[in-house]
Each structure stands twice: as structure tokens, then as C-alpha cells.
Amino acid sequence: MENKVEYFIDPDKKLIVEYYCGEFLVEELIAHKFDIANNEEYNPNYHVLHDIRDAIFLFSFDEITKYVEFLENDTKCVGKRKSIVLAKTPEQVVVGLGVDMQKRNLPINIKVASTFKTAFKFFKLPLSDINEVETWIENHRYQKVI
């Protein structure tokens, strides 16, 4: 399986949607976050939906600290926001909870969920917008990695 990371930024919804597919080291997650933060539309106060349901993480719970330390040290990446991790396996839940448990003083409210409905309620976004995000993810899920 090849790694694939896609994202889009919706300024109207103040939302960033990230889709992960493949096997990832913690350093790859850091590199991806760095890339997003350098996008001119990026706003650290936008809510983030991390769809990791098709991802496998090749790092331990303790290595999550590297990711958290990166966020703490890169002020472009962190703002006051909500983040939700869409997960379907226990291992994915551990990654989401691990970031939440180790975030220390980061002003990010992190939750783990399994449905878009839960995510949109958490973000206080209209449930009528779910289809747009689901469709985007489904379209990117089945595109071949080049």
C-alpha cells in the first residue's frame, strides 16, 4: 500500500479535512502538518477533521510525543480549535487519544469518533454539509496514488 495524504481547506466552514491512506511513521505526519501550515489558505484556528480510517501507524504510543512537540514548537500550526479523529480500529483510536493525552498546553480540543455526524455536531457545523465532505473523501479514497 502506498501512502496518500490529501487535504482541503474550506474557509467558509473554517474547516480543514485531512485524509490519510497507507502506513505512516510519525515523521511523515509531521512533514504533512508542516506542508499544510505553509498553504496560504491555512488558518490555525480552523477546525480539523482527520480521517485516518484507511491508515496504519508504524509508531508507538510514546513516539506521539514527537508530533506533539512539533506542534508546540511550530506556532504556525497551532491555534484555538477543535480536532476530531475519524477512526475505525482500536489502534487508530489509540493514536487519536494519545495526541489528546499528550497535548499538554496546546489549545486544541481533540476527540475521536467513527462518524461524520459526530464530527459535524462537535464542530457545530450543519449536518446538511456532511455529504460534501464524505463525497470529497470517497473521491480521494479511490484515486490511484501516482
Please choose, from the candidates 36, 21, 16, the residue with its C-alpha nearest in 3D space to the C-alpha of residue 88.
21
Contact 28, 66 (CB under 8 A): no
Q: Which of 60-69, 116-125, 129-138 has the lowest mean pLDDT?
A: 60-69
The domain that holds 117 is classified in CATH as: 3.30.750.24
Write down the pTM of the prediction.
0.91
Domain assignment present for 146: no
Q: For position 17, what pLDDT does the model report?
A: 97
Domain assignment present for 63: yes
* pLDDT tens per residue across span 11-58: 999 999 999 999 999 999 999 999 999 999 999 999 999 999 999 999
Domain assignment present for 113: yes
* Domain span including residue 120: 4-141
Domain count along the chain: 1
Q: For position 118, what pLDDT does the model report?
A: 96
Contact 123, 47 (CB under 8 A): yes
